[in-house]
Structure 1
Amino acid sequence: MSKYEILNTILSGLAILASVVSLSRSKKTSEKLIELENIHAELSQTQLAKIAEDKANSKKADLRISLQKHDGSYKFYIENLGPAKAENIYFNLRQGDFSNPIIGSEYSEKIPYEILNPGDYFTMHAVIALGGGYPSFPITLRWDNEDQSRSTKDFQVSL
């Protein structure tokens, strides 16, 4: 073999080696790219689910209840902290070992409470005897949302 043939063979071998190394690196890069695309797809799905959940929640009220002393008397405060109005609000004391603090005539007048807009509240008087300490009341609120769904929330309310 002549010098040129040997040099040509060496150069061809180096070219093959460079091609193999390049192909190997290209494969690794491609695998990483596919992995990143999968992560991006998962993130996109999570974002879409969050957007759908936020959209659904934008049509729902979030009611809360508390018992507070105001001007010497006790009142249940029912407030809407959600972004949508609540309609047909029902207020029920669940069965328990306590006397009913709700004034029957006021309950009949106000419940179901027709519409409670976001940020608004309404009150109901409570007659509480504190002889045995501070009582706690199991209360259920039920209401209709703007999206025509019905929500129910249970609370344990005390002073």
Structure 2
Amino acid sequence: MSQYEILSVILACIATIVSLVVWGGQRKIQREANDLQRATSELAKKQLEILLREERGKNAARLSFDILKDGKTYRFRITNISDVAAKNVDLRLLVKPEDSPLVTNDYEAKFPVPILQPGGTVTLIAAIHFGSPTAYNAVLSWVNPDGVEVSEETYAAL
């Protein structure tokens, strides 16, 4: 082997080593790029889920339930705090019927509420006395504009 052939073999070996090092680096960069692309894809899916949930939320009514003092009497108040109307709104207190503070005539005259517009309220007389509890669990039920029936347990306290 001549000097030039040995030099060519050495240069070829160096070029092979450099190629292997660059190839390994590029594999590492490609792996990182794939991981980043996966993370970006998962983020896009989560953002889409959030947008869809917000879109469904715009078409769904939300109601609040509380107790307020009106002069010397107490009242239960149901308020539509959403941007859409709620239909067939109903209230059921989770107490024994004999312990219910609802005035039957008042309740029967107002419920179920056919349509509760956004920002609208319905009040009921609450016959609360010294022996009554100061907080009540209740179930509010209504129908959203898209026809979905919702039943939600809630809590109100003085």
Give the TM-score taking structure 2 as reference length. Answer: 0.89
Q: Give the aligned partner of residue 25 of structure 2.
A: 25
SS in 2 for 1:67: strand
User: How far apart, CA to CA, are the structure 2 residues paired with 1:99 and 1:109?
Assistant: 20
Q: Give the aligned partner of residue 88 of structure 1.
A: 88
Deviations 1:49-98 (A, max 9, x none): 22221111211111110111022211111012223221110111234276
**Counterparts in 2 of 1:134 and 1:100: CA distance versus 1, 3 Å:** closer
Aligned 1:14-93 pairs, distance under 5 A: 14-93=14-93
Q: Give the aligned partner of residue 155 of structure 1.
A: 154
Q: Could you tell me which runs of 5 or more consecutive residues in structure 1 were left unpaired when the two chains were aligned.
A: none
* C-alpha contact 2:61 2:81 (8 A) present in aligned 1: yes
Deviations 1:17-71 (A, max 9, x none): 1111111111111111111111112112111222221111211111110111022
User: How far apart, CA to CA, are the structure 2 residues paired with 1:22 and 1:79?
Assistant: 67
Identity of aligned residues (%): 28
Structure 1 residue runs of 4 or more that deviate by more than 6 Å after TM superposition = none
Q: Give the aligned partner of residue 144 of structure 2.
A: 145
> What is the number of residues matched between the two proteins?
158
Q: Could you tell me which runs of 5 or more consecutive residues in structure 2 were left unpaired when the two chains were aligned.
A: none
SS in 2 for 1:31: helix
User: How far apart, CA to CA, are the structure 1 residues paired with 2:63 and 2:98?
Assistant: 24
Give the TM-score taking structure 1 as reference length. Answer: 0.89
Deviations 1:102-133 (A, max 9, x none): 12222122111122222322211111112x36
User: How far apart, CA to CA, are the structure 1 residues paired with 2:134 and 2:15?
Assistant: 87
* C-alpha contact 2:85 2:116 (8 A) present in aligned 1: yes
